[in-house]
Amino acid sequence: MVKYGLGLLIFCQKNQVKTNLSLTGKIIKIHSDFIYVRSGDKVYECRLRDRLKKEKTEIFTGDHVRIEEISPETDQAAITEVFERKNLMQRPSIANIDQVIIVASLAEPGLDFLQLNRYLCLAKLNGIPALICINKIDLRDNEEKMFNQARSIYEPLGYKVIFTSALDGSGIKHLQSCICEKVSVLAGMSGVGKSSLLNKLNPELNLRTKNVSLKSGRGIHTTRHTELIEIPVSEGQSCQIADTPGFSYLKFDTIMPSEVMDLFDEIKKLSTKCHFSDCLHLEEAGCNVVSNLNKIDESRYLSYKTFVKEAFEYKKHITSTGQKQEMTVKTIDSPGKEKTRIFKAGSRAKEDSRRKSRQKINRVSIMDDVYYNKDDFE
């Protein structure tokens, strides 16, 4: 009996060492209920700790996390902590990135300046640097005209524009120099060749690709989830690139009309001389932007007006439903025509009183049941 007890004690102690191991890593993929975390040279299949689920903790590819309850036999673990992010994009969903590479194509599908401006504004809204990669240059004979047009529009605004072909390898070395030692995300419409570019950068990936639909002329979704991929660039150097699902359409339906101007530097610069401080630069009297439309590219101004219209739809929805928008930044007038932006505490940052906390009722909704029992609904 004594020998059996000692053996059982030693066995338990060994198991305890295994389960108490704690590592930090980065989420490289989220698929269904499984979260894949890279720590060192290993990838662990993880689930979110129940406590984090109850707290409705959001997780994204690119998040830095702590994992525990690690099983060396199965490489499975539990995520027990999600560290603070330096940035986040919601569409595509990715955290802690250095730059957004917005991929467009000269053909199949054709170059869409409205969609290109959408992604540029989305990156700017999240405060993330962006560069433009125009792919499939092998499919156009008059590419020089398109090159000059793209450069003339975006390079004066501070955006780097590169041209590539995933088919013949044109511009790939230039792309490699832009992504070296950085964490990048490829964003763009379906069918522009994001996965094909990754295959060209690293043929061992063998990512699935499809041709553009002949019926609709649009790309077909081949990437179903966001995945962070390690790619060697040169000897001793590498990068991380996130391949993301393409989106046929993005809308600016989460911001107010007055905020759209901040996403267009050329319009914001001219707006300082508008007669009214709340001018939206559409058709108002005394608008310096409307008076100088010759200084703004037509496609950029048309994009601006489209995004303002979408923002008005959001404002109308907020007003009609009585939802109060919780702003994190407040703008106040300063002497002259300058405006000062100050940060203010959000509702989640305001602590409840003891009396209010005691009065709270812990409600359980049907959505909670959906969240915690996903398998029943798949």
> How confident is the model over 248-263, as pLDDT tens digits?
557 888 889 999 999 9
Question: Residue 338 domain-assigned?
Answer: no
Question: Residue 250 domain-assigned?
Answer: no
What does the mean pLDDT of the chain come to? 79
Domain C-terminal end among 291, 308, 329: 329
Question: Residue 366 domain-assigned?
Answer: no
Band the pLDDT of 192: cuts 50, 70, 90.
confident
Higher pLDDT, 224 or 125: 125
Determine if the peptide bond prior to 203 is cis (ω within 30°). Answer: no
CA 100 – CA 89 distance, rounded (Å): 10
Tell me what the mean pLDDT of segment 153-174 comes to: 93
pLDDT reading at 213 higher than 90? no
Nearest to 56 by CA among 374, 378, 372, 376: 372
Question: Residue 160 domain-assigned?
Answer: yes
pLDDT reading at 134 higher than 90? yes
Q: Say whether both 171 and 300 belong to one domain.
A: no
Q: Say whether both 237 and 266 belong to one domain.
A: no
Q: Say whether both 106 and 197 belong to one domain.
A: yes
Which strand (E) or helix (H) includes residue 11? helix 2-19
Coil, strand or helix: which one is 249? Answer: coil
Q: Say whether both 96 and 153 belong to one domain.
A: yes
Q: Say whether both 239 and 284 belong to one domain.
A: no
Q: Say whether both 135 and 121 belong to one domain.
A: yes
Q: Say whether both 105 and 54 belong to one domain.
A: no
Q: Say whether both 41 and 187 belong to one domain.
A: no
- pLDDT at site 322: 63
Question: Residue 230 domain-assigned?
Answer: yes
Q: Say whether both 318 and 207 belong to one domain.
A: no
Per-residue pLDDT tens digits for 337-348: 555 555 555 444
Q: Say whether both 125 and 239 belong to one domain.
A: yes
Tell me what the mean pLDDT of segment 200-205 comes to: 84
Question: Residue 341 domain-assigned?
Answer: no
Coil, strand or helix: which one is 340? Answer: strand
Domain C-terminal end among 310, 329, 348: 329
Which CATH number characterizes residue 282's domain?
A: 1.10.40.50
What is the count of structural domains for the chain?
3
Cβ neighbors of 157 (< 8 A, separation 6 or more) are: 265, 266
Q: Say whether both 143 and 182 belong to one domain.
A: yes
Q: 193: domain range?
A: 89-243
Question: Residue 354 domain-assigned?
Answer: no
Which CATH number characterizes residue 9's domain?
A: 2.40.50.140
Question: Residue 369 domain-assigned?
Answer: no
Torsion 274-275-281-285 (CA) sign = negative
CA 45 – CA 43 distance, rounded (Å): 7
Q: Say whether both 79 and 106 belong to one domain.
A: no
Which CATH number characterizes residue 167's domain?
A: 3.40.50.300
pTM of the entire predicted model: 0.72
Residues in the chain: 378
